[in-house]
Chain A
Amino acid sequence: MDVKKIVHQKNLRYAKKGLLWAFAAGMLYGVTPTLQTLSLALDPLKTASLVSLLLVPLIMACLQDTSSGIAVLMKNIQAGKSKEYIRILRSKPGKFVVLASFFGGPLAMTTVMASVYLAGPIYPIAISACFPAIGAVLSRIVLKEKISINAWIGIVLCIIGALTISWMPPTGGNYPNFYLGLLMAFITAVAWALENIIATLGMDFVDPELAIGIREFTSGGLTFLILPVLAGIGMKSYGVLFQTLPTMGYVYIALAGLFAGASYFYYYKAANSCGASRSMALNVTYTISAMIIGVVFLGSDITLLLVIGTLTLLIGAMLVAGKPAELLTLRDID
């Protein structure tokens, strides 16, 4: 066979892998809400959730990210990359990955919880689910990513599909700080988008498999540090965290960490290989797997909205994926 053809096929295989990684990331992440729900039903987290708004989410984020970090470290040790962690952390691209972790980890976690508390679940979840659109705009400006008209339409359809799947009837609650809640939701969406863009910028130079290893440990570590301050009960919050470790609740969180770790592993690889904008848009397919698992294991109903949302999301995902040949050069750099 012609050598040029072989090279083209090799490049095409790599681009297709990128799309597959993006889908895998979404599907794997959808497993975590069910495992988180199972852990929340058990003490000490069940009782602790009555103490303060942020205590349990921060404990879960800290334990889940740290567990993910350990799982990714194991994979990197096996691949002979463990020494690279420190080498990369000393460099500027490594610091980008740390900054990305801050945006996607403790900052987004805090603002998303605060937004739901201040404005109820409906509008904050809708606003924060728009992060792929913000991410696509940022990726165009910062990374100069090529995004076709079809891909833009696909990104919008992915968001509409994810929103339709996640939609819940309004609760009619009274929220005196409603607009502050919406602002928090917007900050969450920007933070998630910034995480991907800044990490992708760093991953021009940092191996994505190492970037995600650093991301998970940084996010877990930062969340651990801010826990006493944001949880509102000072050092007692560490007591609840350590009480959780020898329980079944932690087993579920650690399992969630495994799935989240695998998901982020592919999410970061996809951002590097098929572009930040595509990886973010395809990542929201997690709502499909989360719903399927919810139906199978938690007995959730299959509603018309779920079916319509899933179909919309899948059509959007196909448009985002587009032709793999378009992914051979991701950026407008000529």
Chain B
Amino acid sequence: MKMPLRYNIINLLLKNLEGMTPKALHDILDPIYIGEKQCSIEAIDHHLMSMKGVGLVKIKDAVEDDNGNLDVTYVMTDYGATRAEKYIPEYLVMSVQV
């Protein structure tokens, strides 16, 4: 069974310490959650905003693309990594696709 979408986002952020944008996360996650409307760039950004509020992730960088859209790079915080290891450790050792 696939893991919940948010756990996969956390997993990817933990593996990519330089940070990821919602678009980069979507590019990897979309083929995994194929056909699931929940896996959109907007929804992924909403997950990241929600996790930012409680301190699990933070904004590393933000740039405006050619179309004037905001492209924000999020990274996992130490607090977020510690909590993920505490509450969802079994999901962190899995490969992203599972």
Residues of A within 8 A of B (CB): 3-4, 6-7, 10-11, 14-15, 18, 79-81, 83-84, 86-88, 90-93, 203-208, 210, 272-274, 327-331, 333
Q: How many A-B residue pairs have CB under 8 A?
A: 93
Is the Cβ of B55 less than 8 Å from the Cβ of A330? yes
Question: What's the interface size class on B, roughly?
Answer: 35 or more
Interface residues of B in 49-73 (CB under 8 A from A): 49-56, 59, 62-64, 70, 72
Whether A83 contacts B36 in the complex (CB less than 8 A), given A205-B88, A208-B50, A333-B55, comes out as yes
Whether A10 contacts B50 in the complex (CB less than 8 A), given A79-B38, A84-B38, A205-B6, comes out as no
> Inside 8 A of A86's CB, which chain B residues have their CB?
1
- Cα distance A140–B91 when bound, in Å? 28
- Cα distance A18–B54 when bound, in Å? 12
> Inside 8 A of A4's CB, which chain B residues have their CB?
62
Residues of B within 8 A of A (CB): 1-7, 10, 36-39, 43, 47, 49-56, 59, 62-64, 70, 72, 77, 79, 83-84, 87-88, 90-91
> Inside 8 A of B79's CB, which chain A residues have their CB?
333
Is the Cβ of A204 less than 8 Å from the Cβ of B38? no
A203 CB, min distance to chain B CBs, angstroms: 8
Is the Cβ of A205 less than 8 Å from the Cβ of B87? yes
Q: Which of B39, B63, B72, B83 contacts A204 (CB 8 A)?
A: B83
Is the Cβ of B62 less than 8 Å from the Cβ of A327? no
- Cα distance A329–B28 when bound, in Å? 28
Give the secondary structure class of A's interface. helix
Q: Which residue of B lies closest to A1 (CB)?
A: B64
Can you report 22 residue pairs joining A to B where beta carbons are below 8 Å apart? A6-B70, A7-B72, A11-B49, A11-B52, A15-B53, A80-B37, A80-B38, A80-B39, A81-B38, A87-B2, A90-B1, A91-B4, A93-B87, A93-B88, A204-B56, A204-B83, A205-B7, A205-B84, A205-B87, A207-B6, A207-B50, A327-B53
> Inside 8 A of A83's CB, which chain B residues have their CB?
2, 36
A32 CB, min distance to chain B CBs, angstroms: 27
Is the Cβ of B70 less than 8 Å from the Cβ of A204? no
> Inside 8 A of A84's CB, which chain B residues have their CB?
4-5, 38
A143 CB, min distance to chain B CBs, angstroms: 8
Is the Cβ of B4 less than 8 Å from the Cβ of A206? yes
B96 CB, min distance to chain A CBs, angstroms: 14
Whether A329 contacts B55 in the complex (CB less than 8 A), given A3-B62, A205-B7, comes out as yes
Question: With contacts A6-B70, A84-B4, A330-B53 known, what are 14 further pairs, Cβ within 8 A?
Answer: A15-B53, A79-B38, A84-B5, A91-B7, A91-B88, A92-B87, A204-B51, A204-B56, A206-B4, A206-B6, A207-B47, A273-B53, A329-B53, A329-B55
Q: Which residue of A lies closest to B56 (CB)?
A: A204
Is the Cβ of B36 less than 8 Å from the Cβ of A91? no
> Inside 8 A of A331's CB, which chain B residues have their CB?
54-55
B80 CB, min distance to chain A CBs, angstroms: 8
- Cα distance A329–B37 when bound, in Å? 29
> Inside 8 A of A7's CB, which chain B residues have their CB?
59, 62, 70, 72
Whether A3 contacts B55 in the complex (CB less than 8 A), given A87-B2, A91-B4, A273-B50, comes out as no
> Inside 8 A of A10's CB, which chain B residues have their CB?
49, 70, 72
